[in-house]
Amino acid sequence: MSKSFCKGNSSAVVFGEMICEKLRVSIVEAVCNKTAIDLAGEMKCSYPAFSENRLNLEKHLLKSLAEKEDFDAFITYIRNPKKQVEAFIKARVNTYMSGESKDAALDILRKNVDDINKLVSQALFDATNQVTTQNGDIYMWVKEFSRFLKDKLTLGTISCQNFGDINNFDFLKEEIEKGLISIKEEMNRLSLDKIKEFRLRPDQILIDQLCDCCWETCPFCRAVCTNTVKDHVIKDKIDHSCPFHRSKAVNGVHYRNTTEISINFCTTEVASDRSFYPDGVSEELFLYKDYRKAGPRFANWSITPDEYTSKYWIWFVCKFKKRLEEHYGLSFTGRGEIPPKWTEFTKEEAIQSLDEMYRTR
């Protein structure tokens, strides 16, 4: 056996190890990113909270908040709705991956491992066959191997310096195939938690898809604008709006110079002849029906006069009456006294009302 042959094979062993190490890193990332995309797509299609429109997502979030009766989470939603929606999405994805659909998620992961392994094996075969047929060198082999994988894997720069003596490409292929066996075994032990280490995560994909919209809130009751375009007021000259408003008590609105909370719904207010101060310092009163004149916060909101009052938010006010008083430093007394009729609604009725409310929209 010639020295050049032995040296070439020795170089092929080292080069094969280098290629396998690059493949190991790249395959893990590719598998995890593809699984994240697939899981997000699966949840977007089949998971009730994510499978329809923005209003449907809000409905499921509100149901979750009511079921847990977590006042602090409610307050986060009222003050920073986007933050609470993102937390809701993350929690639902975590539950999907670790509990109720863990096996289905693992099946997706395993399929992606198999698909990537088949792709690499095919690229290895095709590159080797092409170089052998055309009497190419190691530079050609690297170029062809990378080309076959470029749409799925990022190998980075592969230096062929000091490996120009490799000429037995079948031997190189066999060395890489040996390394692929251990890589495949490692991939088969991958857990779903590994996905969280990479840039693409199923929860973040869903957040990017579902939360890239308008998050402005009603200046009276903090109901969230439901327009799916972030800058719709500027881009499309369309006002902020939402189908359901809330009792102003949710936002801690109170009567000037008193601690009396205002329990009225803003949709009822704009149908009345009552008036309001736009903030805590203004001395100018505005009619609710002329609310757009009260300043920039009000000018771009479309609030339709309506006598409808949401059972859900009525239940919330009654359920957390004391907590709301403590949170805002106000009281449900005088003009803010809660009507006895409001206290009759149960949590179950509140949650059921959400289906009725959002079915009509």
> Confidence class of residue 361 from pLDDT cuts 50, 70 and 90?
low
- Give the per-residue pLDDT at 360: 55
Check if the beta carbon of residue 152 is closer than 8 Å to that of residue 116: yes
Q: Where are the beta strands (DSSP E) in the chain?
A: 275-276, 286-287
Q: Residue 358 and residue 60: Cα distance in Å, rounded?
A: 10
Check if the beta carbon of residue 50 is closer than 8 Å to that of residue 43: yes
Spell out the residues 6+ positions from residue 3 whose beta carbon is closer than 8 angstroms to its own. none
> Confidence class of residue 4 from pLDDT cuts 50, 70 and 90?
very low
Q: Residue 190 and residue 164: Cα distance in Å, rounded?
A: 36
Reduce the DSSP state of residue 286 to 3 states and report it: strand
| Token pair belonging to 323 | 């907590």
Q: Residue 292 and residue 288: Cα distance in Å, rounded?
A: 9
The domains of the chain are located at 3-50+99-201, 232-359
pTM score above 0.95: no
Angle at Cα 273 formed by Cα 270 and Cα 275, nearest 5°? 75
- Give the per-residue pLDDT at 290: 96
Q: Residue 288 and residue 9: Cα distance in Å, rounded?
A: 86
Check if the beta carbon of residue 6 is closer than 8 Å to that of residue 165: no
Check if the beta carbon of residue 317 is closer than 8 Å to that of residue 249: yes
Count of alpha carbons within 13 angstroms of residue 301, beta-carbon side = 31
Q: Residue 45 and residue 259: Cα distance in Å, rounded?
A: 48
Structure-model confidence comparison of residues 142 and 338, the more confident one: 338
| Token pair belonging to 68 | 């847990």
Q: How confident is the model over 288-341, as pLDDT tens digits?
A: 999 999 999 999 999 999 888 999 999 999 999 999 999 999 999 999 999 999
